[in-house]
Amino acid sequence: MTKKFSLLLVLCTLLLTLVACTSKVTVTFDTAGGSQIASVQIDAGGKIQLPANPTKEGYTFVGWFVEGEPFDGSQKIDNNITLVAHWKKTNPKTLTVVFMVDGQKYDEKTCLEEELLTDLPKNPSKENSRFVGWFVDDNTQFDFTKTPLTEDLIVNAHFDVTSRVIVYAVALADDFVEFNNNRATKTEKNTEFADLTQSYVVGDDNPWKVEPHMSFRLEDIATGHSESTIVDEWEYTIRVYHYNGSDYELLETTTDLVDKIDPKLCTIDFAEKAVGETFKIEVVPTGLTEKQLTNVQNYTMVFENFVVVDGYNVYEAKELAYVEYRTINDKDCDTAWDAFKDANGFDKDYHPANVILHTNIEITASDVPSIFFYTQDEINSFGDSVKNKENAVGSMKDWYDLYMRDLGENENFALLGNYYTLSTEHLREVVVDTDNEETPTGDVNLISHATLIKIRGAATATSKMANLHIIGNAPRTDNEVKSGGQILVKVEGSNFTAYNNITICSFITYMPNRTDCQFLIEKCKGYENFNSLIYNWGSANLIIKDSEFIGAGGPVVIQDHVRDGDYDKDSDVNGFPAKAKVINSKLESYVTGEEGWFTLVGASALVPLVKNLNVAFVANGRSFLKNSASGATFMNLIFVNKSGSTEGLTNEKIKASFQFDELPAFDYGAFDGSDPVLKNMLAEQYKTNHAFQTTGGGMGYVGLDDRGESTIKAPNNQMEYLLKLFQGDYLCIYAQNGMSFGLQLFNAGETYEI
């Protein structure tokens, strides 16, 4: 019996399995008035081969939907389902909806036949009442979110008179509070702007939003009981005052300083004539009770001492598209930006002189054209040359500039931050070497050439970036993938000023790009970059003034002597040497030589050679090294001057100049020939070794003494230079036939506290 029962159990199990494997589900087609399609049965868990599209006179078939979601046949079907056909009119009429309030026309909107009207007017307000909705008759509310229009429509506003919405509190707008907080003194000084006196600026080219922070309550009229409620919109009284030089003067309703005030949207659109003028505003919500009106100042938002400039007001990341304007074809980026502007309703022929932030902005990949990021198909097209394809998809393309601004003769452009934050921290790094659009090869650890903002133009043009807190996507870290982070701003050809910015975590923050025009960095702070905080690519007029830059993965400043064409490396005249002057600024990059940047550029082996030179300085009571409690040895590597023919460090002959305040310049090749002793020493006396210069006026070079041993010798045997070599706060090491390194000089025995 046991064997028979077991056999029966096996047969039953097999039968159930066969039944389960061959169970069917039914797919029904609801054509919504179109040509009929018969139901079909398929195996459960299978996919359906969709039939030919149905037809319907006067309509175009859109597709099949299941419970409001599109269905394309790729989904597995486990249960009986009904596919519903969606249609759109082939030649839809334009329908009109008239919105009425108490028998008066309130607004009018148009919509295509059989589509949803999404552009609804702002809800109307009425004293001692609460807006309920739009009704086609006394009892029927029209649901614009679900009901397509089939004919012209008149709807009336209905109000609940048993309760009313009352204003509970009025406070400064959240973004204005943020502005004041950002401009205040901070305990953590790295987050405090250097200049806390800058005025708020407003553009005149589009409306400025001034809606206060509002709190509302829903009050029962009979009992007086109230509870907190949310109101989507309100109406306001807005008063604008113009500063006349001694006091604020209330403007008339019609004025040539203001184009329009919108009490419902709570915006002010300043006129062109207001540019350069200072104003104050008062914003009061309507509908205040009699008691509230006796203390109306408690329900009034006041914001003053703001200045109108020529420009565009930005409230979301996509609007930064108005930074973009390139006059020459550039990897099809210009075409992509034009399409992006069209898709988002931006005027592609409008290029404002100033782009002004009015809130914190974070840029994501969806806020710029997709051309800047690799798609799966693009990565696949490179074959096996990309080692990490999964990581490469969605990464930024190298040698691409997200925003480009080309400037003509005497043209100006500025990105003005109003002390707000601009963040790109969630943009992907460069991980594929496109190498000027050649087939990518190599690994994910690359030196990035991708730039957030590039400005180029005529020598008479000026550009500026001011009052911004900027967060990049490349913090100082040993993770070398961050070497693919972005360069914040690169400028070539035009004058540029960075003023009162705080920047963190860029691959490079500021990059003067082979321009003879002034590149001024004033009252700026920068911290924790992967590469350098400043990269001078062959520019001769870099000025760093009243600023603080601390914490790069390599030197604070890298300067390249850039060559063009048939450059003779032994020549003294060709190329574009870099030149920087530092005025009243703090530059620090304490490094051990084991950071990711040193590995990336092949400089790790150079570090012990440089550190070995410290012996002679210690013997004279000074040192350019500090030991920490952990035993690590740090040096404050302020600058590296090198050749621009490679991204790594080289031993090619260069010119470069770096000067602190009015102290003697560290001038490789005697940039302007002002110090013949230095020029002669660098040209003749240290060809087989290294030379030194300090801001104390000292100079010397490594040479052989009478016994053939290495020692530091005086240039031209002028001992006064050697005696001063161990004085001053900064040291430059001129490496044999090539680079130079700027280091801070300490008293021997000083320790570094991490």
How far is 235 from 441, CA to CA, in rounded Å?
60
Model pLDDT, residue 13: 46
Encoded tokens for 327 = 């006059």
Residue 20 pLDDT > 60, yes or no? no
415 to 304, 311, 474: CA distances (angstroms):
22, 10, 22
Mean of pLDDT values over 317-340: 94
% of the chain residues with pLDDT over 70 = 92
Residue 454 β-bridge partners: 404, 490
Rg (CA), the chain: 35
How far is 552 from 568, CA to CA, in rounded Å?
33
Nearest Cα to Cα of residue 544 among 375, 430, 658: 658
- φ, ψ of residue 109 to 5 degrees: the values are -130, 155
Mean of pLDDT values over 462-485: 94
Report which residue type is found at 711.
T
Contact (Cβ atoms closer than 8 angstroms) between residue 349 and residue 329: no
Model pLDDT, residue 487: 97
Kindly indicate the confidence band of residue 16, based on its pLDDT and cuts at 50, 70 and 90. Answer: very low
Model pLDDT, residue 708: 59
CA 246 to chain centre: 39
> Is the CA virtual torsion 686, 692, 695, 696 positive or negative?
negative
381 to 375, 434, 437, 569: CA distances (angstroms):
10, 13, 13, 40
Model pLDDT, residue 610: 86
CA 211 to chain centre: 26
How far is 548 from 728, CA to CA, in rounded Å?
20
Nearest Cα to Cα of residue 315 among 175, 199, 500: 175
What pLDDT digit, counting tens, does each position of 296-309 carry? 999 999 999 999 99
Residue 437 pLDDT > 60, yes or no? no
Find the range with the poorest average confidence among 602-611, 614-623, 627-636. 602-611
| Higher local confidence (pLDDT), 276 or 433 | 276
Type and span of the H or E element at 335: helix 333-343
Give per-residue burial for 6-41: e unless 16+ CB within 10 Å, then b.
Answer: eeeeeeeeeeeeeeeeeeebebebebeebeebeeee
Model pLDDT, residue 297: 96
Residue 10 pLDDT > 60, yes or no? no
Encoded tokens for 457 = 């133009």
Give per-residue burial for 668-700: e unless 16+ CB within 10 Å, then b.
Answer: bbbbeeebeebbebbeebbeebbbbbbbbebbb
Type and span of the H or E element at 228: strand 226-229
Mean of pLDDT values over 108-123: 91
Nearest Cα to Cα of residue 321 among 303, 307, 339: 339
> Kind of pairing, strands 542-545 and 130-135?
unpaired
Q: Is 184 helix (H, G, I), strand (E, B) or coil?
A: coil
Nearest Cα to Cα of residue 511 among 491, 485, 486, 531: 491
Mean pLDDT of the chain: 90
pTM of the model: 0.81
Encoded tokens for 475 = 């913090």
Mean of pLDDT values over 364-379: 95
Contact (Cβ atoms closer than 8 angstroms) between residue 312 and residue 206: yes
Q: Is 45 helix (H, G, I), strand (E, B) or coil?
A: coil
Model pLDDT, residue 201: 98
Model pLDDT, residue 439: 62
CA 557 to chain centre: 22
CA 294 to chain centre: 46
Model pLDDT, residue 123: 87
How far is 636 from 705, CA to CA, in rounded Å?
31
Residues in the chain: 754
Find the range with the poorest average confidence among 219-228, 235-244, 700-709. 700-709
Placement of tokens 């702070």 in the chain: 525
| Higher local confidence (pLDDT), 705 or 416 | 416
Encoded tokens for 334 = 């210009």
4 to 17, 23, 669: CA distances (angstroms):
20, 28, 103
Encoded tokens for 650 = 């080289």
Which residues have C-beta within 8 Å of that of residue 634, sequence separation ≥ 6? Answer: 590, 591, 592, 625, 626, 627, 628, 752
What pLDDT digit, counting tens, does each position of 264-275 carry? 999 999 999 999
CB neighbourhood size of 130 (10 A): 21
How far is 127 from 283, CA to CA, in rounded Å?
18
What pLDDT digit, counting tens, does each position of 123-143 carry? 887 777 888 999 999 999 999
Kindly indicate the confidence band of residue 386, based on its pLDDT and cuts at 50, 70 and 90. Answer: confident
Model pLDDT, residue 625: 97
The strand ranges marked E within 39-124 are 40-43, 59-66, 69-71, 81-89, 94-101, 104-112
Residue 258 β-bridge partners: 255, 270
Sheet holding 163-171, edge to edge: 163-171, 213-220, 226-229
Model pLDDT, residue 705: 62
Residue 195 pLDDT > 80, yes or no? yes
Residue 730 pLDDT > 80, yes or no? yes
Find the range with the poorest average confidence among 209-218, 350-359, 399-408, 670-679. 670-679
Model pLDDT, residue 5: 46
How far is 535 from 538, CA to CA, in rounded Å?
9
Give me the domains of the chain, ranges plus CATH numbers. Answer: 23-89 (2.60.40.4270), 94-161 (2.60.40.4270), 166-310 (no CATH), 532-754 (no CATH)
95 to 98, 110, 153, 157: CA distances (angstroms):
10, 6, 8, 19
Mean of pLDDT values over 47-70: 91
Q: What is the DSSP string of 127-151?
A: TT-EEEEEESSSS-B--TTT----S
| Higher local confidence (pLDDT), 561 or 584 | 584
Cα dihedral: 63, 67, 72, 77 (round 10): -140
How far is 202 from 189, CA to CA, in rounded Å?
28
% of the chain residues with pLDDT over 90 = 69
How far is 263 from 82, CA to CA, in rounded Å?
49
- φ, ψ of residue 669 to 5 degrees: the values are 85, 15
How far is 623 from 508, CA to CA, in rounded Å?
29
Which residues have C-beta within 8 Å of that of residue 198, sequence separation ≥ 6? Answer: 183, 419, 466, 467, 500
Give the range with max mean pLDDT: 102-106, 287-291, 680-684: 102-106
CB neighbourhood size of 713 (10 A): 20
Mean of pLDDT values over 551-560: 95
Model pLDDT, residue 651: 73
Mean of pLDDT values over 224-252: 93
How far is 487 from 540, CA to CA, in rounded Å?
20
Contact (Cβ atoms closer than 8 angstroms) between residue 95 and residue 152: yes
Which residue pairs from 92-96 have beta carbons closer than 8 angstroms and sit at least 24 positions apart in sequence? Answer: 95/149, 95/150, 95/151, 95/152, 95/153, 96/152, 96/153
Encoded tokens for 684 = 């003749």
Report which residue type is found at 196.
L
Model pLDDT, residue 435: 66
Nearest Cα to Cα of residue 414 among 509, 322, 304: 322
